[in-house]
Amino acid sequence: MLALTDWCLRHGRAVTLCWLAVALIGAAGALGLGPLLSSGFALPGTDSSRVSTLLAHEFGDSSKGDFVLVAGGARPLTAARRAGAAMRIRYWRRADGAACRG
């Protein structure tokens, strides 16, 4: 290990050029990975592929995995915040009244 360290310290330019070459090769390889990492998967003749074709034809939808989730109903966090604010207001009204009477 000491011999390798000694060689690297003596040949700094060569080591730097090697690391630069490795980085450039890695960047070039990463640029070509995009198409290989697609998440599309379809089996022809299945219900899901028929629905996908129908959606694309009727609605112009070509979903690639993105979707919008629309949720309805009560908003418990908002209700909890309102209840907490109302409680603080009641507390401070009582505290102010007690301080004025005291």
In a domain, 19, yes or no: no
Q: pLDDT, tens digit, for every residue of 26-38?
A: 999 888 887 777 7
| ∠ CA 22-26-30, rounded to 5° | 175
Domain range spanning residue 81? 76-102
CB 63 within 8 A of CB 55: yes
Question: Which pLDDT tens digit goes with each residue over 3-54?
Answer: 999 999 999 999 999 999 999 999 998 888 877 777 667 788 888 888 888 8
* 43 vs 76, higher pLDDT: 43
Q: Judge whether 96 lies within some domain.
A: yes
Local structure of residue 32 (DSSP, 8 states): T
CA dist., res. 21 & res. 24, Å (int): 5
Structural domain count, the chain: 1
